[in-house]
Structure 1
Amino acid sequence: MIKVTLLRGLAGKPEDHIKAVKSLGLKKVGQSRMLPDSPVVWGNIKKASYLIRVERVEGGQA
């Protein structure tokens, strides 16, 4: 599992970066989500990596 946290606001950012962050389920600064470690998730993380923080988490508690 991966814990993804939104660190910066989305105002003024490119539309494809905003869509990548929203597809990760993040809407507000400081919000975190637990997501599966999959290629789709990593593609969205790489697209908007400067807006988010990623941590690997052992186990699967959501």
Structure 2
Amino acid sequence: MQNLSIRARLALAMAFLGSMLSLSVGFGLHGTSATHESARDIAENSLSAVNALGISSHTTTRARLSLD
């Protein structure tokens, strides 16, 4: 390492930092994609059931009030 010039050392340091940045961006994109897939799964599978429960609760409450 002592035989390298300052210019070469800086170039190696920048190359290393650039590769670390690219790796970090790749992990971030992968995480964002996984989060998006999870959110889509929840929206397609769970939210329709929750919405149906809310409608049935509202209907039940309306029926109870109309009987009073």
Which is strand-richer, 1 or 2?
1
Structure in which a larger fraction of residues adopt helix: 2
The structure number with the bigger radius of gyration is 2
Report the TM range for the smaller structure's normalisation: under 0.3
Q: TM-score, normalised by structure 1?
A: 0.24
Using structure 2 for the length normalisation, give the TM-score: 0.23
| Structure with more relative contact order (C-alpha pairs < 8 Å, separation 6 or more) | 1
